Structures are given as structure tokens and as C-alpha cells.
Chain A
Amino acid sequence: MIWMVLLGIGSGMLVSLSRQLNGRLALSTSAMQSSFWNHLVGFVVLVPCALLAGSLWPAEAVSAHWFAWAGGAIGVVFVASGSWLIPRLGAALTGGLLVAGQMLSSVAFDLLRGVDAILWMQISGVALILLGVYLSRRG
């Protein structure tokens, strides 16, 4: 259990590490080029992982919904945005504001799709996040 907790924290640290590296690369190239290298290097690393885990092309892949294929295209813009933001806002504020946008939109999605959740906690969460975004703007 303690190992899982450490792994969980580690997975978050990997996010910051990758954003920091991509941000450094973008200083010498551009945000979009850093996003390209991030995806290409990740792909090269994942090929042997997929081979070890089973196959490079599971039979179900053909029948996947079109939207299931769109994640990579969205991710390119997301990673490029992170590389663009991190030299401007710093790592902590970049991460915080990205999480803020993620949480606000995911609550909107949950409400639209009628996902079961405790409403007062969601509403106070949204209010706190909006307060945080407001504070980040104040000197």
C-alpha cells in the first residue's frame, strides 16, 4: 500500500518533470516542436511496452469509436500549451491553472452527463478553484 501511495505521488511528479523538460526544449526550438518530440519519444518508448504487454495492434482497435482516436491530436495542443506557459508563469502556477481548467470542465461534463456525485462538494470545489484563479491574477 505504501508503495502504491509513493507510485501515485511519483506519477504526478512525472507530469511536472515532463512539462519542465518540454519547456526547456521549447526555449531552444518552439512549443510545437517540443510537443512533437514529446509524442515521438513517448511513442518509441511505448512500442516495446506494448509488445511486452501483448500486441501492437489489438483486434478491437478497428472497431473503436472515432473519438477514441482523437486524444493524440488534442494532446499535441495540450503539451504545446504547457511548453508555452511554463516559462511565462513558472511550473507551479502553470500546473495549478491547468488543473483548474481541467477540474472546471470536468464538473461541467459530469453535470451534462448526469454523473452521480455530491453536489455541494462540487459547487464548493468550483468556487474555491475560481477564487484560486482570481488570486493568481492579483499582485
Chain B
Amino acid sequence: MVARTSSAEAPRRPHPLEILAALCAGSLLTLMLLSNGMMAAHTTPIFASLTAHGVGSLVAVLLLGVFWVRRPALRRGPGGRAPLWAYLGGISGALTVVVSTVVVNSSLALTGTMALGLAGQVALALIFDATGALGLERRLPRRNDLLALAAIIVGTLLIIFARGSGA
């Protein structure tokens, strides 16, 4: 995992605002899961995900409309044309819901699903970073990045299992 023959640039330190934005977005995820969980309990998990994606599409159109009216120059980003496969993130997003619904209802329950999901997410993210997969920049994690990830993972597992065994 550590840089040896790498041509990749040493990653810069994250800006405090970027860290703050990530923490705030993570809190939004908590709210989103509460909302989707409420809909899933009231109807079905598939319907909850369907409505979340439908409502999300409409809200995104509205927000894009506001951006475009105010700053028309921003319609195309700096990275040239996107390959077609870059539009397929929504498929794996939708699949996530289906797969995790199956796993939650197995003997692994919510606690096991969350712990395994965390492992899978971080492992693949590290592989993506190390290889620069799918058109994003290759970057080798600094020692402190790995330490930070380890502390966050262990802390998250403690919190997940605190809930799982307390209920």
C-alpha cells in the first residue's frame, strides 16, 4: 500500500472546509436513512428506494435549473466529455438497496450488515485510490490517512456493536 515506485503525486492535506463538508454530508446520510427507513417500514424497502430516487431526480432538476439560470457558463465541467459508463453510478446505488435489504433480513441483521458494508466500502475505496481506477486520480494514502481510517473504522464498529448488543 505504501509508495515505492510510484509516479503518483504525494496527496495534499485536506482543507478543514473539506473535512467539515464531509462530516456535514455524513450527517445528511443519517437523516436520509431515517427518512428512507420510515418509508420502508411503512411500505416496502424497494418502494422506499424508488421514491427516494424519483423525488431526488425532481429535486436535482430544480436545483440544476436554479444554477443554470444564474450561471449558464457552468454547464460543462473541465474534464471533457464523460464516458458513457460514468453515467451508471445509479445502477450500483440502486443495487446497494436491494442487496443490503437481503442481508439485513438474514441472521447478520442490521449490525452485521453495517459492519460488513463498512469493510467492503473502505477496502474497495483503497484499491480505487491505489490504482486510480475509473478515471479518477491515482493517490497513495499517507501514513496518517491510514491511521485516520483505522481509528474511524474501529470507532464505527464500537458504535455499531454498542447499539446491536444494547437493544
| Interface residues of A, Cβ cutoff 8 Å to B | 1, 4-5, 7-30, 32-47, 49-50, 53-54, 56, 58, 60-61, 63-65, 67-79, 81-82, 84-107, 109-110, 115-119, 121-122, 124-129, 131-139
Contacts and interface: CB of A to CB of B under 8 A. Distances in A.
Interface string B29-59: 1111111101100111011111111111111
B113 A117 contact: no
A93 B92 contact: no
Contacts of A103: 26, 152, 155-156, 159
B26 A101 contact: yes
Interface-centre pick from A1, A96, A121 (highest chain B CB count, 10 A): A96
A28 B42 CA distance: 39
A46 B77 contact: no
A33 B64 contact: yes
A21 B85 contact: yes
14 contacts: A1-B107, A5-B116, A14-B95, A18-B96, A24-B135, A24-B136, A64-B38, A71-B52, A72-B57, A101-B25, A121-B159, A128-B154, A132-B155, A137-B14
B3 interface: no
A10 B129 CA distance: 18
B49 to A, nearest CB: 6
A40 B124 contact: no
A125 B166 CA distance: 15
Interface-centre pick from A22, A56, A127, A132 (highest chain B CB count, 10 A): A132
A23 to B, nearest CB: 6
Contacts of A110: 163
B63 interface: yes
> Which bucket holds chain B's interface residue count?
35 or more
A126 B97 CA distance: 27
Contacts of A82: 25
A109 B38 contact: no
B57 A36 contact: yes
A20 B26 contact: no
B23 A26 contact: no
B53 A18 contact: no
A135 B21 contact: no
Contacts of B107: 1, 4
A97 B158 contact: no
B80 interface: yes
A71 B26 contact: no
A97 B92 contact: no
Given A74-B32, A125-B159, A9 B55 contact: no
B58 to A, nearest CB: 8
Contacts of B150: 132
A76 B128 contact: no
Contacts of A24: 82-83, 86, 134-136
A125 B157 CA distance: 8
Contact of B39 (A69, A117, A121): A69
